[in-house]
Amino acid sequence: MAETTPLDTVRASIAHAAKVAGRKPDDITLIAVSKTRTADEIRPLLEAGHRDFGESRVQEAEAKWPALKADFPDVRLHMIGQLQSNKAADAAALFDVIHSLDRDSLLDALAKADACPDLFVQVNIGGEEQKGGVAVADLPDFLARVREAGLPLAGLMCIPPQGLEASPFFALLAELARRNGLDGLSMGMSEDYESAVRQGATHVRVGTALFGARG
Ligand SMILES: *Cc1c(COP(=O)(O)O)cnc(C)c1O
């Protein structure tokens, strides 16, 4: 019998959390966050059939993924880190989904790209000064500008403040999505993805629980 892998365990936990919440496991996309991981660490997941991966730096992804994509062309790459406007065109060329749209300059740069990936607007859900993301109060106007630009808007993304219980922040993001007519919710990491699924996450971003601690 095959050994149970971390991928099996995380998939089973997502399925269980979905079931508890009366949701379908297939409605949740597990993004394997492969930032800092080598191609050799990533390959076993690809061979196990996993296809959604998250990276936080354009340059690192450009170095790693073209070779992997040659062998697994149906991979979907998710940009989950802060994105500089001057990297927007490169990111649009490589990534299928961008989870970190958070300001007008980036919106303008993506609008000029050849083909814009699906977009999640990152919300500064805890109102933290140092953190990226659109302020909750500015969200309706910002979403209106994304829609005016005709870009493919998939939903909202957040990273709750460290050290606090995450579920109220997940609930708030879900409420903001509902109010603004959006279906996609990118929320939940290794520590709290089950809670995120119970609160309605459609995309969870999991690194450590799949690959082990980052060095
Ligand atoms: C690194 C990262 C993750 C994954 O974090 P883990 O705790 O390793 O699961 C998820 N989302 C974002 C935005 C990240 O930068």
pLDDT tens track for 5-63 = 999 999 999 999 999 999 999 999 999 999 999 999 999 999 999 999 999 999 999 99
Structure tokens at 22: 């009366």
Give residues with Cβ within 8 angstroms of 70, minimum separation 6: none
- The CA 23 to ligand 1 mean position distance, Å, reads 24
For residues 86 and 68, give the distance between their C-alpha atoms in angstroms, rounded to a whole number: 25
**Distances in Å between the alpha carbon of 145 and those of 73, 101, 137?**
33, 12, 15
Nearest by Cα to 186 from 171, 174, 203: 203
| Collapsed DSSP state (helix, strand, coil) of residue 185 | strand
**String of b and e for 77-115 (b: at least 16 CB within 10 Å)?**
bbbbbebeeebbebbbebbebbbbbbbeebbebbeeeee
pLDDT at 149 over 90: yes
Of the pLDDT bands very low, low, confident and very high (cuts 50, 70, 90), residue 128 is very high
**Ligand 1 atom closest to 211 (CA):** 8
Report the pLDDT averaged over residues 130-149.
Answer: 97
- The CA 188 to ligand 1 mean position distance, Å, reads 8
- The CA 158 to ligand 1 mean position distance, Å, reads 11
For residues 165 and 187, give the distance between their C-alpha atoms in angstroms, rounded to a whole number: 14
- The CA 191 to ligand 1 mean position distance, Å, reads 9
Q: Which residues line ligand 1 (CB under 6 A)?
A: 33, 35, 56, 80-81, 159, 189-190, 205-209
Query: At which residue do the structure tokens 């070779």 appear?
Result: 67
pLDDT at 2 over 80: no
